[in-house]
């Protein structure tokens, strides 16, 4: 199930995920809160994709990540599960999306950028 969060207050939605993934989402939402949300400005969001179907939902409902170059991708090393990847996309001036997904469903071009 695709999960969209924009603020640290929504981190409870991620309680079923590895702690390292939650920490990465907290890092990103802290930046969004500090620089945007606390000033009543929408600066972006974090999407947690857990399946290939979630990737299709991103393409059809948010943006086509295959067509937009990513700024950077970081591997999230998890001690209790397979690793994840965190990918930052700049969708506009002062607006970003960070997609976090298991490395097993990560497209090869992104995977090679963060290994």
The one-digit pLDDT tens for each residue of the chain (115 residues) are 999 999 999 999 999 999 999 999 999 999 999 999 989 999 999 999 999 999 999 999 999 999 999 999 999 999 988 999 999 999 999 999 999 999 999 999 998 887 6
CA distance 90 to 68: 9
| DSSP state letters, 3-25 | EEE-SGGGGGGGTTS-HHHHHHH
Nearest CA to 29 among 85, 109, 86?
86
Instruction: Indicate left, alpha or beta for 44 from its phi (over 0: left) and psi (-120 to 50: alpha).
Output: left
CA distance 84 to 104: 8
The pair of three-digit structure tokens given for residue 110, joined into one six-digit string: 């992104």
Domain ranges of the chain: 3-114
Residue 30 sits at φ, ψ, to 5 deg, of -65, -40
């Amino acid at each position: 199930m695709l999960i969209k969060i924009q603020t640290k207050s929504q981190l409870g939605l991620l309680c079923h995920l590895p702690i390292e993934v939650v920490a990465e989402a907290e890092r990103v939402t802290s930046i969004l809160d500090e620089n945007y949300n606390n000033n009543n400005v929408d600066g972006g969001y974090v999407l947690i994709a857990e399946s290939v179907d979630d990737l299709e939902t991103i393409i059809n409902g948010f943006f086509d990540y295959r067509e937009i170059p990513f700024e950077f991708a970081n591997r999230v090393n998890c001690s209790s599960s397979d690793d994840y990847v965190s990918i930052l996309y700049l969708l506009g001036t002062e607006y970003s999306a960070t997609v976090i997904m298991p490395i097993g469903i990560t497209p090869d071009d992104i995977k090679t950028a963060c290994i």
